[in-house]
Amino acid sequence: MKPAPFGYADPTSLDEALTLLTEDGAKVLAGGQSLLPLLSMRLASPATLVDINRIPGLDSVVVTPSGDGAGVRVGALVRHVELLHHAEAAQVQPLLARATSNVAHPAIRNRGTTVGSIAHADPSGEMTSVLALTGGSVTVATPAGSSAVGWADFFVGPLETSVHGPAVVTEAFFPALPPRTGTAFEEVSRRKGDYAVCGAGVTVTLDEDSRVTSARASYISVGLVPEVHDLTDAVVGQSVDSADWTAAGALARTLVDPDGDLHASADYRRLLVGVLTERTLARAAQEAQNR
């Protein structure tokens, strides 16, 4: 349970980091809360760890409340705990604080980074699904320059993204929540703070007469990559107080394709998708009335 030997570098600029990452077997180290266990269990044994923690300019949360580019930009070194307590960011995109409160335990959130958990692309990670549900993107820096990659093009498989070769994910962008839209996030886990057996993040949008115009959901620990499911058909045009959230839950159950494992069977996960969808949509709809 000790990492295999590796070389370590802690560059102080992004250019230096990218140069170091051109070497074979070099890997980025940010918060390390997923990477270190992988190293200790020898599931990964990179030749070099490029620690980005000393690079300035990657630790800011930039909130743009409205207009062009409205949303929250999260730098690669922003820890989960900072998003959890960021009141301005929660105002513009409430899913950030809601989801980060479900990320592991305080000691892990103090160290783990939100962008790192997205780059890790674990299907049981909260922030990958939030990036998808909000229609977000990441900024990927390579020696050739920086470019934005939308969430759908970024996630390729479990623990796999479309980014190959020397690259650092420098930022994640979560678009602002539209008006008359509410959100909710809930997980079921075996132990408090543990990986979710199943989790759901949802958004509900209402029109001026409080009728549902959109209901969308993204799930945690269900499927191989984050997906966004449109559940609007089950509740479209229905009034917020009498909408058939059970029907939306039933629809969600037909759209997902969960796997079974030691912790839960596929059928149990599918059941949880229905239950969590029904509960969270109802809460999100109530919230949407007040936004």
Closest to other proteins by CB, 126 vs 278, is 126
Amino acid at 276: L
Instruction: Compute the least distance from the CB of residue 229 to other proteins, in Å.
Output: 30
Could you tell me if 132 and 109 are in contact, meaning their C-beta atoms sit under 8 angstroms apart? no
Binding map of other proteins across residues 210-239, x = CB under 8 A, - = no contact? ------------------------------
Q: How far apart are CA 177 and CA 24, in angstroms?
A: 41
Q: How far apart are CA 35 and CA 66, in angstroms?
A: 36
Instruction: Compute the least distance from the CB of residue 101 to other proteins, in Å.
Output: 9
Nearest to 179 by CA among 48, 287, 62: 287
Total residues contacting other proteins (rule CB under 8 A)?
Answer: 36
Q: Which of 6, 228, 255, 291 lies at the binding interface for other proteins (CB under 8 A)?
A: 6
Contacts 24+ apart (CB under 8 A), 257-265: 257/222, 257/223, 258/198, 258/219, 258/221, 258/222, 258/223, 259/223, 263/190, 263/195, 263/197, 264/197, 264/198
Q: Considering the rule CB under 8 A, would residue 106 count as an interface residue with other proteins?
A: yes
Q: Considering the rule CB under 8 A, would residue 127 count as an interface residue with other proteins?
A: no
Q: Considering the rule CB under 8 A, would residue 59 count as an interface residue with other proteins?
A: no
Q: Considering the rule CB under 8 A, would residue 10 count as an interface residue with other proteins?
A: yes
Amino acid at 253: R
User: Is residue 64 exposed (0-12), middle (13-18) or buried (19+ Cβ within 10 Å)?
Assistant: middle
Task: Tell me which stretch binds other proteins (CB under 8 A): 30-38, 151-159, 173-181, 252-260.
Answer: 30-38
Q: Which of 27, 44, 53, 156 lies at the binding interface for other proteins (CB under 8 A)?
A: 53
Q: Considering the rule CB under 8 A, would residue 104 count as an interface residue with other proteins?
A: yes
Residues that bind other proteins (CB under 8 A): 1-11, 16, 19-20, 29, 32-33, 36-37, 39-41, 48-49, 51, 53, 104-108, 110-111, 191-193
